Amino acid sequence: MELLRIGVIGTGAIGRDHMRRITNNLSGGVITAVTDVNTEAARGAVEALGIGANIYPDDVTLIGSGEVDAVLVTSWGPAHQKSVLAAIEAGLPVFCEKPLATTAEGCKSIVDAEVARDKRFVQVGFMRRYDKGYRQLKEAIDGGFIGEPLMIHCAHRNASVADSYTTDMAITDTLIHEIDVLQWLIGDEYRSAQVSFPKKSRNALGHLGDPQIVMLETAGGVIITAEIFVNCKFGYDIQCEVVGEEGLIRLPDVSSPAFRKGGVAGNALLMDWKDRFIDAYDVEIQDFIDNVRKNGMPQGPTAWDGFIAQVTADACVRSQQSGEREAIELGVKPELYSGMMQRQV
Amino acid sequence: MELLRIGVIGTGAIGRDHMRRITNNLSGGVITAVTDVNTEAARGAVEALGIGANIYPDDVTLIGSGEVDAVLVTSWGPAHQKSVLAAIEAGLPVFCEKPLATTAEGCKSIVDAEVARDKRFVQVGFMRRYDKGYRQLKEAIDGGFIGEPLMIHCAHRNASVADSYTTDMAITDTLIHEIDVLQWLIGDEYRSAQVSFPKKSRNALGHLGDPQIVMLETAGGVIITAEIFVNCKFGYDIQCEVVGEEGLIRLPDVSSPAFRKGGVAGNALLMDWKDRFIDAYDVEIQDFIDNVRKNGMPQGPTAWDGFIAQVTADACVRSQQSGEREAIELGVKPELYSGMMQRQV
Amino acid sequence: MELLRIGVIGTGAIGRDHMRRITNNLSGGVITAVTDVNTEAARGAVEALGIGANIYPDDVTLIGSGEVDAVLVTSWGPAHQKSVLAAIEAGLPVFCEKPLATTAEGCKSIVDAEVARDKRFVQVGFMRRYDKGYRQLKEAIDGGFIGEPLMIHCAHRNASVADSYTTDMAITDTLIHEIDVLQWLIGDEYRSAQVSFPKKSRNALGHLGDPQIVMLETAGGVIITAEIFVNCKFGYDIQCEVVGEEGLIRLPDVSSPAFRKGGVAGNALLMDWKDRFIDAYDVEIQDFIDNVRKNGMPQGPTAWDGFIAQVTADACVRSQQSGEREAIELGVKPELYSGMMQRQV
Amino acid sequence: MELLRIGVIGTGAIGRDHMRRITNNLSGGVITAVTDVNTEAARGAVEALGIGANIYPDDVTLIGSGEVDAVLVTSWGPAHQKSVLAAIEAGLPVFCEKPLATTAEGCKSIVDAEVARDKRFVQVGFMRRYDKGYRQLKEAIDGGFIGEPLMIHCAHRNASVADSYTTDMAITDTLIHEIDVLQWLIGDEYRSAQVSFPKKSRNALGHLGDPQIVMLETAGGVIITAEIFVNCKFGYDIQCEVVGEEGLIRLPDVSSPAFRKGGVAGNALLMDWKDRFIDAYDVEIQDFIDNVRKNGMPQGPTAWDGFIAQVTADACVRSQQSGEREAIELGVKPELYSGMMQRQV
């Protein structure tokens, strides 16, 4: 089978990282076209890898070049919507890093574009669904191992964040991953969100509300309590415990050697979030390549999932300000996203 | 030193259990007087142990007999208040199982009786403060190991409950232990409580709301999320994780041998709550005996602690019905309970 | 029931410790008589506790005083044999700290004295049999949970030892506890022992062979590998894993709060061996008191167990020098120690 | 860079597995030539993958075809030596599954062939060196985290084995992996081996001695105790604990979700050994491809490592019969394998 010719829009850190993995780690794909608002950056990325991809002035010319079978959108968030819509317009499968768009309306316009063509083109970069631990959780839950899920207790902890990190980013950059992966995990829909602010850590900058506790309720009545703590200092720590009618199950910690030394029995925690889901990125992109080559369309997180994430994040941000429980309303789920999707990936 | 002569009011299960431990396991105390609404039950309890205690017709005659140096109140809840007030009136130290009284007003009347005499007489039977694990947590927190506490995540899970267990008992019989031990653990006061009901487990009887999630906020801004799940089926399971500015710390599980068998690496969970704090009961009663012998008064959980627990439980029960955040107002803490008390036990 | 009047022979650290627990923690016993080679030490021990025990010039006068119902031998090792034999001669139950005697012949003379009277008088201070974890292991093994035991992997690690600690003490002071508890655990008899010396730790003093690895074989074919490492630096660490035909089971670690801090998920290890079996000492002495009061004789580790330990330790010490597998020969087990004993405590 | 053209000799299970991973999972390599003693099997393997590789009648014609840049030897063990020598003769890099040869002499002849050309051609398929857990152990040890290693405690447990599995295969098929990975882990050489047979499990077939305990000593004085138990029933379980002068460190278990259900807190064990090192196989073959493309020669386990494994296994098998400690003599290590190799991979 021919290699999938991939065009990359945006050669920042995540774009270069995906270029590297497609070239050196994965099979079935080849980078043939690249663009970036900074053309020199695009050229540098191509040269660093020693590949023969052409440099294009912008997303539209790249998409229209005839040199690509699929597109990766790894530009900055506000640019995503336009590139994704252009790819759909051209009939090209597109992998888009989160956010799909920076507004619910933007996400909805992409959903509408797919629905108009009655075909999926888009996979959103929610890599946690490809993490081995989350997949083990889902397999156990789908298999009835804990009975019906009733509650989920989560934590998303970061050792520290940059000065530019703001209170709403705790939702839009951080919790966004839980928002996507949890609805997928239990096959349910959100109905409301409420955010509370505990005593603020002295390790958080003045402008930042940290930690936060988010309570989400689903249509099926599952209650999710999620701690977000981005200055926890001790490490990057992702916890997820699902409590069901017959038992509970917990996301495994990243494994590392147990030691005994200096009066402590322990093991090292990850400090850098980039190490946590590194394998999941590989699986995610390989899955995109394999499905596009085999079926002509991706099977991962959909544009509708991107829309869900954005609407839910908006409700959380509203609750950060109101302190109240805020409703989450998605409207009717288009037929295109029904059925098989729920159990995919 | 002379043995402490103890009178027992109420020879139900917990009363007989304390009589047994004072007689067979602990040192420094001797049961000399017993009463129960069922005199035959009282006599049976004495004979079963083979001890020489006298049987009295009621609490008042026992307290006035001159045969006891201290009193244990282990009757049913609604009878506690009267017996405790009579003991204080007689100037006798009194250990009272929870609840101190079944209403906040009742608890307050006992506080007032102590304040009027400017002396502590009462220890309330909140045994968790004597559990080794909780004491290790408190020592670590007081020592600054995790910095300032910001959040606490708890779970109180029971395999199953009797048919007579009602929705409000999830607070008054179950969460009541967390209510006491957490304010002691972090040295803070509650300000509000909110109860949410997730999807109900099919393993809970029709009249019972199970599980429940309680969110408590303290004056210092600490937010506590507590899961109560009394039909969890898998075992009796007490979890407590305190997240601070510099790290987190977690109540240890009950230790048991790790096994590998039949495809599972695991260890057995407790099924019966009575086994969980069995050592704590011994330490609690020994502490009562030792302090009364040495100082003439107990040093454990105070009447004020009993009052806090009742007021907080009332707010939780109100929130079960309103679904809203309910305020917790204690009024001014009497001087008698200040200072040393906070760090005691 | 009358309190058991106990005479204590030897008021060093362990003697004073047992005096304290009998007086302050346990029930049913009272210290009425004390002796020590240093009479002032004996007097000091009595006064420190504020008890009314009489001071005797030596073991023989204490035993003959008529003031004691049972004897605790807590003098230094070389004095044990004579005191124990005197107690048996006087018909008094006797609790003797290990070693029962410093030679196999000495132990055998005590066994012979009991056999001559066809009655057990002696309990040897092997407290591990009273440790909750070991008892859970034994219960599981006796219940067939892992099928027939085939192998045991142990470690006995100490952070460090005093300068006076010598290579043979790794056996006679350290491994001696495994020697006793393992034969009890699996109800089997030792047949051979072999000691190997790995590379020596630079943290061990020049005269000391540390660590050591001991391989013991039983009559039933079980092979035990035991690491002894008394300068392991990281803590006091007792490991015991029993591998059977259907699964394996492991001695639980001492429980302590799990923490996450500074890049580590861990929990504190014990540093001081004295803390490890502190509860077991209480249970052990209470069991001695209870059984003597109830049955007139102890039910714990027997004189024959003391003999087994000494003969096995001798073989290990021989192998330290020969490097060869050394045979362990016990002769015929007297009827007195058969039957019920194996499953007792 | 051009793809590495790979010829596969032997299309049994492991051969087909490597063909699949090179084609579908890894990057930089392509299968261009295949041979097998059963030509139809070779053809079937090629067709199943849908690749365009040519089928050759035997190893020699494949090697001489000019169509391959490197060779994978995945035939049955007795055929390895001849194919590997032919590849070296032709100057082709060769990846050979274990054993390198079925005799020490055979391994030595391959070492000699490399030494004669003063160049490495061979990588032996000891995949554990590419396992994340072992690499974390090695990194910690090399970094001085536990000080000098003194002892290693291992277990290699299999739920069950086929009837054809014989007592010596516990060494040559099972322990062989520990033999390789442990000398690499601590950078030391074996000096002696001794095998002991505990009581035999009733779950082992009549002809099979199971479990076994192997004690290995190194030139540096490290003592390794290894349990081999291939009918342990409970799962596939690889343990490795390295005890050093300053602490100990342990190979992580395979991570899986922790659950609480039915009175047990636990997690699932692997049952099938093929799942245990599945990631390591990917890394191993990718490393072979990358190094051959970049440096013209592999950097993984060498022919000398294959020779060490064979000589050490021979000593263990001799000890199975003699019951004695058997010496391990390797002769002088050729310069070709010195230096950088020790710290490689």
Separation CA B8–CA B5 (nearest Å): 10
**Are B130 and B287 a contacting pair, CB within 8 Å?**
yes
Residue pLDDT, tens place only, D71-117: 999 999 999 999 999 999 999 999 999 999 999 999 999 999 999 99
Q: Angle between the A176-186 and A303-322 helix axes, to the nearest 10 degrees? A: 120
Nearest partner of B329 among B191, B224, B216, judged by Cα: B191
Q: Flag whether pLDDT at D339 surpasses 70.
A: no
Q: Flag whether pLDDT at C345 surpasses 80.
A: no
Please give the pLDDT value at position B340: 45
Q: Is residue C65 part of a domain?
A: yes
Contact at CB, D260 and B271, closer than 8 angstroms: no
Looking at beta carbons, which residues of chain C come within 8 Å of A265?
A: 235, 253, 266-267, 269
Q: Is residue A329 part of a domain?
A: no
Contact at CB, B1 and C50, closer than 8 angstroms: yes
Please give the pLDDT value at position A338: 85
Looking at beta carbons, which residues of chain B come within 8 Å of D268?
A: 263-264
Nearest partner of B276 among B298, B250, B256, judged by Cα: B256
Q: Flag whether pLDDT at A142 surpasses 50.
A: yes
Which residues of A touch chain B, with CB atoms under 8 Å apart? Answer: 147-148, 150-151, 153, 196, 198-203, 211, 213, 215, 217, 220-223, 225, 227, 229, 232-234, 243, 245-248
Residue pLDDT, tens place only, B277-308: 999 999 999 999 999 999 999 999 999 999 99
Q: What is the mean pLDDT of chain C?
A: 95
Contact at CB, D257 and A140, closer than 8 angstroms: yes
**With the C-alpha atoms ordered B105, B110, B114, B116, is the resulting torsion angle positive or negative?**
positive
Separation CA B312–CA B310 (nearest Å): 5
Report the percent of chain D where pLDDT is more than 90: 95
Looking at beta carbons, which residues of chain D come within 8 Å of A261?
A: 145-146, 246-248
Contact at CB, D213 and C150, closer than 8 angstroms: no
Name the neighbours of D, counting chains with at least 3 Cβ pairs within 8 A.
Answer: A, B, C
Residue B64 sits in the same domain as residue B152: no
In angstroms, the separation between the Cα of residue B81 and the nearest Cα of chain A is 36
Looking at beta carbons, which residues of chain D come within 8 Å of B235?
A: 260, 263, 265
In angstroms, the separation between the Cα of residue D47 and the nearest Cα of chain A is 13
Contact at CB, B264 and D262, closer than 8 angstroms: no
Where residue D213 falls among pLDDT bands split at 50, 70, 90?
A: very high
Contact at CB, B234 and A211, closer than 8 angstroms: no
Contact at CB, A248 and B233, closer than 8 angstroms: no
Contact at CB, B196 and A215, closer than 8 angstroms: yes
Determine which of D2, D3, D4, D25 to mutate to test the interface with A (most A C-beta atoms within 10 Å).
D25
**Are B252 and D265 a contacting pair, CB within 8 Å?**
no
Q: Give the end of a domain, one of A272, A299, A318.
A: A272
Q: Which residue of A has its CA nearest to B196?
A: A223
Query: In chain D, where does DSSP find H-type helix?
Result: 13-24, 39-49, 59-64, 80-89, 104-117, 132-142, 169, 176-186, 278-295, 303-322
Contact at CB, B263 and D264, closer than 8 angstroms: no
Q: Nearest Cβ partner of A257 from D250, D257, D267?
A: D250
Residue pLDDT, tens place only, B81-104: 999 999 999 999 999 999 999 999
| Token couple for D338 | 């010195």
Please give the pLDDT value at position B339: 61
Residue D291 sits in the same domain as residue D232: no
Report the percent of chain C where pLDDT is more than 90: 96
Q: Is residue B19 part of a domain?
A: yes
| Token couple for A110 | 């992409």
Q: Flag whether pLDDT at C322 surpasses 90.
A: yes
Nearest partner of C179 among C167, C189, C168, judged by Cα: C189
Q: Flag whether pLDDT at B334 surpasses 60.
A: yes
Separation CA A180–CA B117 (nearest Å): 61
Task: Please give the residue range of the domain that contains residue B64.
Answer: 4-128+279-303+334-343
Q: Which residue of A has its CA nearest to B201?
A: A245
Residue B168 sits in the same domain as residue B257: yes
Q: Nearest Cβ partner of B266 from D253, D265, D271?
A: D265
Q: Is residue A316 part of a domain?
A: no
Please give the pLDDT value at position B345: 39
Q: What is the mean pLDDT of residues A285-302?
A: 96
Looking at beta carbons, which residues of chain B come within 8 Å of D267?
A: 264-266
The Cβ of residue B118 has, within 10 Å, a number of other Cβ atoms equal to 9
Residue pLDDT, tens place only, B152-207: 999 999 999 999 999 999 999 999 999 999 999 999 999 999 999 999 999 999 89
In angstroms, the separation between the Cα of residue C203 and the nearest Cα of chain D is 7
Residue pLDDT, tens place only, D127-179: 999 999 999 999 999 999 999 999 999 999 999 999 999 999 999 999 999 99
**Are B186 and B242 a contacting pair, CB within 8 Å?**
yes
Residue pLDDT, tens place only, D188-205: 999 999 999 999 999 999
Q: Which residue of B has its CA nearest to C257?
A: B252
Report the percent of chain B where pLDDT is more than 90: 96
Q: Give the end of a domain, one of A249, A272, A295.
A: A272
Q: Nearest Cβ partner of C234 from A234, A260, A271?
A: A260
Which residues of D touch chain C, with CB atoms under 8 Å apart? Answer: 147-148, 150-151, 153, 196, 198-203, 211, 213, 215, 217, 220-223, 225, 227, 229, 232-234, 243, 245-248
ipTM of the complex: 0.94
Residue with tokens 């075992």: B235
Contact at CB, C151 and D227, closer than 8 angstroms: yes
| Number of domain units in chain D | 2
Q: Is residue B165 part of a domain?
A: yes
In angstroms, the separation between the Cα of residue C150 and the nearest Cα of chain D is 6
Q: What are phi and psi of C95, to 5 degrees?
A: -100, 120
Which residues of B touch chain C, with CB atoms under 8 Å apart? Answer: 1, 23-28, 50, 132-133, 136-137, 140, 145-146, 246-262, 267, 286
Q: Which residue has the higher pLDDT, B229 or A2?
A: B229
Residue D144 sits in the same domain as residue D251: yes
**Are A165 and A210 a contacting pair, CB within 8 Å?**
no
- DSSP string covering D68-107, please? -SEEEE-S-GGGHHHHHHHHHHTT--EEEPSPS-SSHHHH
Name the neighbours of C, counting chains with at least 3 Cβ pairs within 8 A.
Answer: A, B, D
Q: Which residue of A has its CA nearest to B227?
A: A151
Residue pLDDT, tens place only, C244-265: 999 999 999 999 999 999 999 9
Contact at CB, C243 and D227, closer than 8 angstroms: yes
Contact at CB, A267 and C265, closer than 8 angstroms: yes
Report the percent of chain B where pLDDT is more than 70: 98
Contact at CB, C252 and B261, closer than 8 angstroms: no
Looking at beta carbons, which residues of chain A come within 8 Å of D248?
A: 259-261
**With the C-alpha atoms ordered A113, A116, A120, A121, is the resulting torsion angle positive or negative?**
negative
Nearest partner of C80 among C306, C293, C298, judged by Cα: C306
Angle among Cα B318, B323, B325 to the nearest 5 degrees reads 75
Contact at CB, C266 and A271, closer than 8 angstroms: no
Determine which of C212, C239, C245 to mutate to test the interface with D (most D C-beta atoms within 10 Å).
C245
Name the neighbours of A, counting chains with at least 3 Cβ pairs within 8 A.
Answer: B, C, D
CATH number of the domain residue A43 falls in: 3.40.50.720
Residue D256 sits in the same domain as residue D289: no
Separation CA B113–CA B124 (nearest Å): 15
C99 cis-preceded (ω within 30 degrees of 0): yes
Residue A144 sits in the same domain as residue A266: yes
Sequence-separated (6 or more) residues with CB below 8 Å from residue B164: none
In angstroms, the separation between the Cα of residue C261 and the nearest Cα of chain B is 5
Q: Is residue D259 part of a domain?
A: yes
Where residue A1 falls among pLDDT bands split at 50, 70, 90?
A: low
CATH number of the domain residue D265 falls in: 3.30.360.10
Contact at CB, D150 and C213, closer than 8 angstroms: no
Looking at beta carbons, which residues of chain C come within 8 Å of D227?
A: 151, 153, 243
| Token couple for D230 | 């291939």
In angstroms, the separation between the Cα of residue D241 and the nearest Cα of chain B is 17
Q: Flag whether pLDDT at A341 surpasses 50.
A: no
Q: Is residue C34 part of a domain?
A: yes
Please give the pLDDT value at position D309: 97
**Are C1 and C28 a contacting pair, CB within 8 Å?**
yes
Tell me the CA distances in angstroms from D124 to D267, D301, D333, one per residue in order: 34, 5, 17
Sequence-separated (6 or more) residues with CB below 8 Å from residue C339: none
Nearest partner of A260 among C270, D334, D59, judged by Cα: C270
Q: Is residue B326 part of a domain?
A: no
Residue pLDDT, tens place only, C199-227: 999 999 989 999 999 999 999 999 999 99
In angstroms, the separation between the Cα of residue A300 and the nearest Cα of chain C is 33
Per-position b or e across B263-280, b if 16+ CB within 10 A of its CB: bbbbbbbbeebeebbeeb
Name the neighbours of B, counting chains with at least 3 Cβ pairs within 8 A.
Answer: A, C, D
Residue D303 half-sphere exposure, CB side, CA atoms within 13 Å?
30
Residue pLDDT, tens place only, A54-88: 999 999 999 999 999 999 999 999 999 999 999 99
Residue D117 sits in the same domain as residue D199: no
Separation CA D339–CA C187 (nearest Å): 52
Residue pLDDT, tens place only, A238-250: 999 999 999 999 9
Number of Cβ pairs closer than 8 Å across B and C? 87
Residue C67 sits in the same domain as residue C173: no
**Are C303 and C110 a contacting pair, CB within 8 Å?**
yes
Separation CA D161–CA B169 (nearest Å): 54
Residue A137 sits in the same domain as residue A121: no
Separation CA D26–CA A26 (nearest Å): 6
Contact at CB, D266 and B261, closer than 8 angstroms: no
DSSP annotation of D269: P
Residue A139 sits in the same domain as residue A229: yes
Residue C164 sits in the same domain as residue C60: no
Residue type, A313: A
Q: What is the mean pLDDT of residues C44-72?
A: 96
Residue with tokens 């839009």: A172
Residue D103 sits in the same domain as residue D145: no
The Cβ of residue C105 has, within 10 Å, a number of other Cβ atoms equal to 11
Residue A47 belongs to what H/E stretch?
helix A39-49
- DSSP string covering D108-151, please? HHHHHHHHHHTS--EEE--GGGGSHHHHHHHHHHHTTTT-SEEE
Residue B154 belongs to what H/E stretch?
strand B149-157
Contact at CB, D246 and C234, closer than 8 angstroms: yes
Contact at CB, B268 and D268, closer than 8 angstroms: no
